Chains A and B, each alone.
Chain A
Amino acid sequence: MVAESADRFSTEKRLAAINIIIAFAALAVGGLMGVFQVLNYNNIDLYPAVKPVLPGGYYQGLTLHGVLNVLVFTTFYIIGFLTFIFAKSLDKPLVSPAMGWATLGVMATGLLLAAVPLLLNQATVMFTFYPPLKASSLYYIGLTLVVAGTWLLLLNMVLTRNAWLKANPGKKTPLAAFMAITTMAMWTIATIGIASEMIFLLIPWSLGLVAGTDVILARTLFWFTGHPIVYFWLLPAYISWYTLVPNHAGGKLFSEPMARVSFILFLILSVPIGIHHQVADPGISEAWKLVHATFTFVVFFPSLLTFFNVVASLEYSGRKRGGKGWLTWIFSLPWGKPEFTTQVVAMLLFAFGGIGGLVNASYNLNLVVHNTSWVSGHFHLTVGTAVALSFMGITYWLVPYLTGRHLWSRKMALTQAWLWFVGMGIFSHFMHELGLRGMPRRTMIGGAPYVLDNWKLLLPFTMIGGLLMFASAALYYFNIIMTISAGKKGYNEPVPFAKALSGPEDTPAILDRFTPWLAVAAVLILTNYGPTLFNLVTNARLNIPGLSPW
Chain B
Amino acid sequence: MRDNSKFVGYLFEVAWILPSVAIPIVLFVSVVITAFAVGIRVPTDVGRVDPQALAQTAPFDNPGIREMAPGVYEATVIAQVFMFTPNSIEVPLGSKVTFTLTSRDVVHGFKIEGTDVNGMVVPGQITKVTATFRRPGEYLIVCHEYCGGGHQAMFGKVIVK
Binding site for B on A (CB under 8 A): 56-57, 59, 62, 124, 126, 130-133, 214-216, 219, 278-286, 289-290, 293-294, 297-298, 300-301, 304-305, 308, 312, 358, 362-368, 370-372, 437-438, 440-445, 447-450, 452, 541, 543-544, 546-550
**Which B residues are CB-close (under 8 A) to A279?**
42-43
CB pair B20 A305 closer than 8 Å: yes
Task: Please measure, in the bound complex, the distance between the C-alpha atom of A526 and the C-alpha atom of B21, giving whole angstroms.
Answer: 25
CB pair A450 B35 closer than 8 Å: no
Asked if B145 CB lies within 8 Å of chain A CBs, one says: yes
Give B159 Cβ to nearest chain A Cβ, in Å: 14
A450-B42 contact, Cβ under 8 Å, with A290-B35, A297-B28: no
In the complex formed, the residue of B with least CB distance to A133 is B106
**Among candidates A59, A130, A363, A452, residue contacting B151 with C-beta atoms closer than 8 Å:** A59
Give B87 Cβ to nearest chain A Cβ, in Å: 11
Asked if B116 CB lies within 8 Å of chain A CBs, one says: yes
CB pair B116 A297 closer than 8 Å: no
CB pair B113 A438 closer than 8 Å: yes
Task: Please measure, in the bound complex, the distance between the C-alpha atom of A541 and the C-alpha atom of B48, giving whole angstroms.
Answer: 10
**Which A residues are CB-close (under 8 A) to B16?**
304, 308
In the complex formed, the residue of B with least CB distance to A539 is B48
CB pair B107 A132 closer than 8 Å: yes
**Which B residues are CB-close (under 8 A) to A215?**
107, 122-125
A282-B109 contact, Cβ under 8 Å, with A297-B28, A444-B151: no
Task: Please measure, in the bound complex, the distance between the C-alpha atom of A290 and the C-alpha atom of B16, giving whole angstroms.
Answer: 26
Give B86 Cβ to nearest chain A Cβ, in Å: 16
**Which B residues are CB-close (under 8 A) to A59?**
146, 148-149, 151
Binary contact track B90-113/A, C-beta < 8 Å → 1, others 0: 000000000000000111010101
Binary contact track B59-82/A, C-beta < 8 Å → 1, others 0: 000000000000000000000011
Question: What 7 A-B pairs are tightest by C-beta distance, nearest first?
Answer: A549-B148, A438-B113, A440-B144, A297-B24, A371-B144, A286-B44, A304-B20
Task: Please measure, in the bound complex, the distance between the C-alpha atom of A441 and the C-alpha atom of B107, giving whole angstroms.
Answer: 15
Give A365 Cβ to nearest chain B Cβ, in Å: 7
Task: Please measure, in the bound complex, the distance between the C-alpha atom of A301 and the C-alpha atom of B46, giving whole angstroms.
Answer: 34
Give A32 Cβ to nearest chain B Cβ, in Å: 20
**Which A residues are CB-close (under 8 A) to B34?**
364-365
Asked if B1 CB lies within 8 Å of chain A CBs, one says: no
**Among candidates A304, A362, A371, A547, residue contacting B106 with C-beta atoms closer than 8 Å:** A547
A282-B42 contact, Cβ under 8 Å, with A438-B142, A452-B113: no
**Which B residues are CB-close (under 8 A) to A304?**
16, 20
Give B32 Cβ to nearest chain A Cβ, in Å: 8
> Which of A282, A371, A448, A548 has its CB near the most chain B CB atoms (within 10 A)?
A282
CB pair B120 A297 closer than 8 Å: no
A130-B107 contact, Cβ under 8 Å, with A215-B125, A301-B21, A449-B155: yes
Task: Please measure, in the bound complex, the distance between the C-alpha atom of A180 and the C-alpha atom of B92, giving whole angstroms.
Answer: 60
CB pair B20 A289 closer than 8 Å: no
**Which B residues are CB-close (under 8 A) to A56?**
149
CB pair B106 A449 closer than 8 Å: no
Task: Please measure, in the bound complex, the distance between the C-alpha atom of A296 and the C-alpha atom of B34, giving whole angstroms.
Answer: 18
**Among candidates B143, B144, B152, residue contacting A372 with C-beta atoms closer than 8 Å:** B144
**Among candidates A62, A284, A293, A447, residue contacting B45 with C-beta atoms closer than 8 Å:** A284
Give B18 Cβ to nearest chain A Cβ, in Å: 11
Give A159 Cβ to nearest chain B Cβ, in Å: 37
**Among candidates B50, B140, B149, residue contacting A550 with C-beta atoms closer than 8 Å:** B149
Task: Please measure, in the bound complex, the distance between the C-alpha atom of A298 and the C-alpha atom of B114, giving whole angstroms.
Answer: 30
> Which of A216, A298, A541 has its CB near the most chain B CB atoms (within 10 A)?
A216
In the complex formed, the residue of A with least CB distance to B30 is A362
CB pair A282 B20 closer than 8 Å: no
Task: Please measure, in the bound complex, the distance between the C-alpha atom of A358 and the C-alpha atom of B30, giving whole angstroms.
Answer: 12
A216-B122 contact, Cβ under 8 Å, with A132-B107, A308-B13, A449-B155: yes
Give B114 Cβ to nearest chain A Cβ, in Å: 7
Q: List 12 A-B contacts (CB under 8 A).
A: A57-B149, A285-B44, A294-B28, A298-B24, A370-B144, A437-B113, A438-B113, A438-B142, A440-B143, A441-B144, A442-B146, A449-B152
Task: Please measure, in the bound complex, the distance between the C-alpha atom of A214 and the C-alpha atom of B123, giving whole angstroms.
Answer: 9
**Which B residues are CB-close (under 8 A) to A449?**
152-153, 155
CB pair A450 B142 closer than 8 Å: yes
Binary contact track B111-139/A, C-beta < 8 Å → 1, others 0: 10110111110111111100000000000
A371-B111 contact, Cβ under 8 Å, with A216-B122, A290-B35: yes
Asked if B58 CB lies within 8 Å of chain A CBs, one says: no
CB pair B45 A282 closer than 8 Å: yes
**Among candidates A57, A293, A305, residue contacting B31 with C-beta atoms closer than 8 Å:** A293
Task: Please measure, in the bound complex, the distance between the C-alpha atom of A294 and the C-alpha atom of B23, giving whole angstroms.
Answer: 12
In the complex formed, the residue of A with least CB distance to B115 is A367
CB pair A448 B153 closer than 8 Å: yes
CB pair B149 A438 closer than 8 Å: no
**Among candidates A283, A368, A372, residue contacting B48 with C-beta atoms closer than 8 Å:** A283
**Which B residues are CB-close (under 8 A) to A294?**
28
Within 8 A of A (CB), among B29-54: 30-32, 34-35, 40-46, 48, 50-52
Task: Please measure, in the bound complex, the distance between the C-alpha atom of A365 and the C-alpha atom of B143, giving whole angstroms.
Answer: 19
CB pair B44 A284 closer than 8 Å: yes
Give B55 Cβ to nearest chain A Cβ, in Å: 16
**Which B residues are CB-close (under 8 A) to A447?**
152-153
**Which B residues are CB-close (under 8 A) to A132?**
105-107, 123
CB pair B120 A280 closer than 8 Å: yes
**Which B residues are CB-close (under 8 A) to A445?**
152
Give B100 Cβ to nearest chain A Cβ, in Å: 10
Asked if B147 CB lies within 8 Å of chain A CBs, one says: yes
Excluding A130-B145, A280-B42, A447-B153, 14 further A-B contacts by CB distance (< 8 Å) are A133-B106, A216-B124, A280-B109, A281-B120, A282-B43, A290-B31, A297-B24, A304-B20, A363-B42, A370-B118, A440-B111, A541-B48, A543-B50, A549-B148
Give A280 Cβ to nearest chain B Cβ, in Å: 5
